[in-house]
Amino acid sequence: MAGNLTLTMIKPDAVKKNAIGGILKMMNDGGFKIVAMKYMHLSKTKAEAFYAVHKERPFYGELTEFMSSGPIVAAILEKDNAVEDFRKLIGATNPAEAEDGTIRKVYATSIGENAVHGSDSDENAQIEGDFFFSQQERF
Ligand code: ATP
Ligand code: MG
């Protein structure tokens, strides 16, 4: 059975565009409840740890530089079938391919600066949620 939690980040590009409120509204309107939330600046080391699965990819340096370039919002979101439904709501990695009505269609700039992160599996949703939040920080 699909899990009901996913982990999101509002990335530095979207924070700089003053889009935190607009993106949180799209998440709420999409049926997602906020279980935990933090406004923080990831160090380069923390960004490298979060994206360790992409270590061998050519864009790893660019990605971790970008993710540590300014503050982010990290949140755990709850909804039935959360991982799959949230990836539908955020749209394709490349905003040029993102469907109308998706968060990346509205707010992303490029494949690198694409406004939001969403977990890609229930297993990673749990790992990523634990990366940012203790049990006491979840409601
Ligand atoms: P995310 O994991 O952030 O939700 P995703 O699952 O859609 O995005 P991944 O393949 O996991 O995409 O890539 C992680 C992130 O790495 C992307 O969101 C993007 O910011 C960056 N990225 C991916 N491909 C490229 C690329 N070709 N050039 C630059 N950055 C890239
Ligand atoms: Mg991913």
* 139 residues of the chain, pLDDT tens digit each: 789 999 999 999 999 999 999 999 999 999 999 999 999 999 999 999 999 999 999 999 999 999 999 999 999 999 999 999 999 999 999 999 999 999 999 999 999 999 999 999 999 999 999 999 999 999 9
Residue 135 lies in a domain: no
**pLDDT the model gives residue 1:** 75
pLDDT at 96: 97
Show the domain range for 109: 5-115
4 C-alpha to ligand 1 centroid (Å): 23
* pLDDT computed for residue 94 by the predictor: 97
Is 59 among the domain residues?
Answer: yes
Residues enclosing ligand 1, CB less than 6 A? 54, 59, 62-63, 93, 111-112, 114, 117-118, 120
| Cα-to-centroid distance, 137 and ligand 2 (Å) | 24
Q: Whose CA is nearest to atom 7 of ligand 1?
A: 93
Q: How many CB atoms lie within 10 A of CB 128?
A: 23
Q: Please check whether residue 132 lies inside any domain of the structure.
A: no
Classify residue 53: in a domain, yes or no.
Answer: yes
94 located within any domain: yes
Active site residues: 117
CATH number of domain containing 28: 3.30.70.141
Ligand 2 centroid to residue 75 C-alpha, Å:
15
By alpha-carbon position, which residue is closest to atom 20 of ligand 1? 112
* pTM for the predicted model, two decimal places: 0.97
- Decide if 88 contacts 53 (C-beta within 8 A): no
Residue 33 domain-assigned (yes or no): yes
Would you say residue 136 lies in a domain? no
Length of the chain: 139
Residue 122 lies in a domain: no
Work out how many domains the chain is built from and give that number. Answer: 1
Residue in the block written with tokens 């469907």: 99
Ligand nearest the Cα of residue 87 is 1
